[in-house]
Amino acid sequence: MTQQWDAALAAYRAARAEHEAYYQSYWLPAHEAEKAGGPPVPQPIADKIERLMDVTSACESALMVIPSPHSMAFATKYLIAHGDGREAEAWDDMLEVEAKRFAANQCWIEATDGRRRSVEDLPLIDEFTSQARRARAMLRALEAALGNQHGADDIDLFATLALAAADACVTAITEFNTGRRAA
Protein backbone atom coordinates (compact mmCIF):
# COMPACT_ATOMS: atom_id res chain seq x y z
CA MET A 1 0.00 0.00 0.00
CA THR A 2 2.87 2.38 0.74
CA GLN A 3 4.18 2.07 -2.84
CA GLN A 4 0.72 2.86 -4.21
CA TRP A 5 0.50 5.88 -1.89
CA ASP A 6 3.99 7.09 -2.83
CA ALA A 7 3.24 6.80 -6.57
CA ALA A 8 -0.10 8.60 -6.24
CA LEU A 9 1.45 11.35 -4.10
CA ALA A 10 4.26 11.86 -6.64
CA ALA A 11 1.70 12.10 -9.46
CA TYR A 12 -0.40 14.59 -7.49
CA ARG A 13 2.59 16.76 -6.64
CA ALA A 14 3.81 16.73 -10.26
CA ALA A 15 0.35 17.67 -11.57
CA ARG A 16 -0.07 20.41 -8.98
CA ALA A 17 3.41 21.81 -9.73
CA GLU A 18 2.73 21.85 -13.46
CA HIS A 19 -0.62 23.57 -12.90
CA GLU A 20 0.91 26.17 -10.55
CA ALA A 21 3.79 26.92 -12.93
CA TYR A 22 1.45 27.41 -15.88
CA TYR A 23 -0.95 29.44 -13.77
CA GLN A 24 1.80 31.79 -12.59
CA SER A 25 3.58 32.07 -15.95
CA TYR A 26 0.70 32.27 -18.42
CA TRP A 27 -2.82 32.32 -17.06
CA LEU A 28 -2.39 34.87 -14.25
CA PRO A 29 -0.57 37.47 -16.40
CA ALA A 30 -3.21 37.09 -19.14
CA HIS A 31 -6.00 37.36 -16.57
CA GLU A 32 -4.42 40.44 -14.94
CA ALA A 33 -4.06 42.07 -18.38
CA GLU A 34 -7.74 41.35 -19.09
CA LYS A 35 -8.76 42.89 -15.74
CA ALA A 36 -6.71 45.97 -16.61
CA GLY A 37 -8.75 46.47 -19.78
CA GLY A 38 -6.62 44.39 -22.15
CA PRO A 39 -7.72 41.55 -24.38
CA PRO A 40 -9.47 38.53 -22.87
CA VAL A 41 -7.42 35.53 -21.78
CA PRO A 42 -6.53 33.74 -25.02
CA GLN A 43 -8.58 30.59 -25.49
CA PRO A 44 -5.54 28.25 -25.76
CA ILE A 45 -4.35 29.49 -22.34
CA ALA A 46 -7.83 29.11 -20.83
CA ASP A 47 -8.14 25.63 -22.33
CA LYS A 48 -4.75 24.51 -21.05
CA ILE A 49 -5.30 25.78 -17.50
CA GLU A 50 -8.63 23.93 -17.45
CA ARG A 51 -6.96 20.69 -18.64
CA LEU A 52 -4.25 21.08 -15.99
CA MET A 53 -6.93 21.63 -13.32
CA ASP A 54 -8.71 18.47 -14.50
CA VAL A 55 -5.48 16.45 -14.32
CA THR A 56 -4.66 17.83 -10.86
CA SER A 57 -8.18 17.06 -9.66
CA ALA A 58 -8.00 13.50 -11.01
CA CYS A 59 -4.62 12.97 -9.31
CA GLU A 60 -6.02 14.37 -6.07
CA SER A 61 -9.01 12.04 -6.23
CA ALA A 62 -6.78 9.03 -6.94
CA LEU A 63 -4.58 9.93 -3.96
CA MET A 64 -7.37 10.69 -1.51
CA VAL A 65 -9.17 7.36 -1.96
CA ILE A 66 -6.07 5.35 -1.05
CA PRO A 67 -6.22 4.48 2.66
CA SER A 68 -3.45 6.38 4.45
CA PRO A 69 -0.67 3.90 5.17
CA HIS A 70 0.69 6.04 8.04
CA SER A 71 -0.08 9.18 10.00
CA MET A 72 2.06 11.42 7.75
CA ALA A 73 -0.06 10.34 4.78
CA PHE A 74 -3.19 11.19 6.75
CA ALA A 75 -1.77 14.61 7.63
CA THR A 76 -0.94 15.17 3.96
CA LYS A 77 -4.53 14.35 3.00
CA TYR A 78 -5.85 16.75 5.61
CA LEU A 79 -3.62 19.54 4.34
CA ILE A 80 -4.64 18.85 0.73
CA ALA A 81 -8.29 19.14 1.73
CA HIS A 82 -7.99 22.07 4.14
CA GLY A 83 -4.54 23.68 3.88
CA ASP A 84 -3.95 27.06 2.28
CA GLY A 85 -7.48 28.13 3.18
CA ARG A 86 -9.02 25.47 0.98
CA GLU A 87 -12.33 24.03 2.09
CA ALA A 88 -12.61 20.77 0.17
CA GLU A 89 -15.33 19.49 2.47
CA ALA A 90 -16.15 16.66 0.05
CA TRP A 91 -13.27 14.80 1.72
CA ASP A 92 -14.45 15.34 5.32
CA ASP A 93 -16.34 12.06 5.71
CA MET A 94 -13.39 10.07 4.39
CA LEU A 95 -11.00 11.98 6.66
CA GLU A 96 -13.20 11.26 9.67
CA VAL A 97 -13.32 7.54 8.85
CA GLU A 98 -9.53 7.45 8.56
CA ALA A 99 -9.08 9.38 11.81
CA LYS A 100 -11.28 6.83 13.58
CA ARG A 101 -9.32 3.97 11.97
CA PHE A 102 -6.03 5.43 13.17
CA ALA A 103 -7.42 6.08 16.63
CA ALA A 104 -8.90 2.60 16.96
CA ASN A 105 -6.19 0.51 15.34
CA GLN A 106 -2.88 2.26 15.54
CA CYS A 107 -2.81 4.57 18.52
CA TRP A 108 -1.48 3.24 21.81
CA ILE A 109 -1.03 5.45 24.84
CA GLU A 110 1.10 4.79 27.90
CA ALA A 111 -1.28 5.05 30.84
CA THR A 112 -0.13 6.42 34.19
CA ASP A 113 -0.06 2.91 35.62
CA GLY A 114 2.50 1.89 32.96
CA ARG A 115 0.09 -0.23 30.90
CA ARG A 116 -0.25 0.36 27.17
CA ARG A 117 -3.88 0.80 26.20
CA SER A 118 -5.52 0.76 22.81
CA VAL A 119 -7.51 3.82 21.88
CA GLU A 120 -10.72 2.10 20.88
CA ASP A 121 -13.16 3.94 23.08
CA LEU A 122 -15.81 5.85 21.16
CA PRO A 123 -15.77 8.86 23.52
CA LEU A 124 -12.09 9.29 22.81
CA ILE A 125 -12.65 9.02 19.07
CA ASP A 126 -15.35 11.64 19.37
CA GLU A 127 -12.88 13.84 21.27
CA PHE A 128 -10.35 13.38 18.44
CA THR A 129 -13.00 14.35 15.89
CA SER A 130 -13.86 17.40 17.98
CA GLN A 131 -10.18 18.39 18.14
CA ALA A 132 -9.90 17.98 14.35
CA ARG A 133 -12.88 20.28 13.89
CA ARG A 134 -11.24 22.83 16.22
CA ALA A 135 -8.06 22.58 14.15
CA ARG A 136 -10.06 23.26 10.98
CA ALA A 137 -11.63 26.30 12.65
CA MET A 138 -8.14 27.50 13.62
CA LEU A 139 -7.01 27.16 10.00
CA ARG A 140 -10.04 29.08 8.77
CA ALA A 141 -9.42 31.82 11.34
CA LEU A 142 -5.82 32.06 10.19
CA GLU A 143 -6.94 32.32 6.59
CA ALA A 144 -9.30 35.15 7.49
CA ALA A 145 -6.57 36.90 9.46
CA LEU A 146 -4.21 36.68 6.51
CA GLY A 147 -6.87 38.16 4.25
CA ASN A 148 -6.89 35.16 1.88
CA GLN A 149 -3.35 36.03 0.75
CA HIS A 150 -1.21 32.91 0.97
CA GLY A 151 2.30 32.26 -0.22
CA ALA A 152 4.84 29.50 0.09
CA ASP A 153 5.89 30.75 3.55
CA ASP A 154 2.38 30.19 4.88
CA ILE A 155 2.76 26.42 4.47
CA ASP A 156 5.01 26.38 7.55
CA LEU A 157 2.38 28.28 9.51
CA PHE A 158 -0.34 25.82 8.46
CA ALA A 159 1.92 22.90 9.36
CA THR A 160 2.54 24.46 12.79
CA LEU A 161 -1.20 24.75 13.36
CA ALA A 162 -1.72 21.15 12.25
CA LEU A 163 0.94 20.04 14.75
CA ALA A 164 -0.75 22.10 17.47
CA ALA A 165 -4.02 20.34 16.66
CA ALA A 166 -2.25 16.97 16.84
CA ASP A 167 -0.80 17.94 20.23
CA ALA A 168 -4.30 18.80 21.42
CA CYS A 169 -5.46 15.34 20.31
CA VAL A 170 -2.59 13.65 22.19
CA THR A 171 -3.51 15.68 25.28
CA ALA A 172 -7.12 14.54 25.00
CA ILE A 173 -6.01 10.90 24.64
CA THR A 174 -3.64 11.16 27.59
CA GLU A 175 -6.29 12.78 29.77
CA PHE A 176 -8.77 10.08 28.83
CA ASN A 177 -6.30 7.32 29.72
CA THR A 178 -5.42 8.90 33.05
CA GLY A 179 -9.05 9.47 33.96
CA ARG A 180 -8.89 13.24 33.54
CA ARG A 181 -11.19 14.75 30.94
CA ALA A 182 -10.56 18.12 29.33
CA ALA A 183 -13.19 20.68 30.23
- DSSP secondary structure of 100-131: HHHHHHT-EEE-TTS-EEE---HHHHHHHHHH
Domain carrying residue 139: 69-183
Q: What is the pLDDT of residues 149-175, one digit of tens each?
A: 555 455 556 656 666 666 666 666 656
Same domain, 32 and 91: no
Domain boundary among 26, 47, 66: 66
Q: What is the DSSP letter of 152?
A: T
Residue 183 has pLDDT above 50, yes or no: no
Residue 107 has pLDDT above 50, yes or no: no
Q: What is the DSSP letter of 181?
A: -
Same domain, 76 and 32: no
C-alpha triplet 101, 83, 48: angle, nearest 5°: 115
Same domain, 84 and 169: yes
d(CA 139, CA 87): 10
Looking at the structure of the chain, the number of domains it has is: 2
Domain boundary among 15, 46, 66: 66
Same domain, 46 and 121: no
68 vs 119, higher pLDDT: 68
Q: What is the pLDDT of residues 44-64, one digit of tens each?
A: 999 999 999 999 999 999 999
d(CA 41, CA 80): 28
Write down the pLDDT at residue 121.
45
CB 112 within 8 A of CB 177: yes
Same domain, 105 and 38: no
